[in-house]
Amino acid sequence: MFDSNRRKYPRANYPCFLTVWLANGSNETILANTSNVGAGGLAVHLNHAIDLGTKVDIELNFKNPSTPFRCKGKVVRSFKESERFYNIGIQFEPLSELKFAFIDGKISELLELEKKEKS
């Protein structure tokens, strides 16, 4: 079993609205919700696989009003987890300082909310 404490960046279990555009020339747009998100990437459950190494353009929309977070990423995990769904892990490409500060701050807020909800 994977030890989440070994992650470089903590993940918030928060279902953000997500749009992914495959950068492989197919122009396919995928609308989904994340299962978790961190400053280094995110996980999403989809009804189809995406090949490892696939480059993607990402737009995350958090529920509370804010500007969508846009960046590029790469699929680093893709496996069938059930009859209907695939677990897809996307690692963000290196972020500018401003984008990293934004996503890191947003994840910190979400982790604080998780703590409050558990107590």
Task: Please tell me the distance from the alpha carbon of residue 51 to that of residue 70, in angstroms, as a whole number.
Answer: 21
CATH number of the domain that residue 44 is part of = 2.40.10.220
Which residues constitute the domain of residue 46? 4-118
pTM over 0.75: yes
Residue 81 CB burial class (10 angstroms; 0-12, 13-18, ≥19): exposed
- Quote the number of domains for the chain: 1
Nearest to 61 by CA among 33, 94, 21: 33
- Tens of pLDDT along the chain (119 residues) come to 344 445 577 888 888 888 999 877 676 788 888 889 999 999 999 988 899 999 999 999 887 667 789 999 999 999 999 999 999 999 999 999 999 999 999 899 889 988 888 87
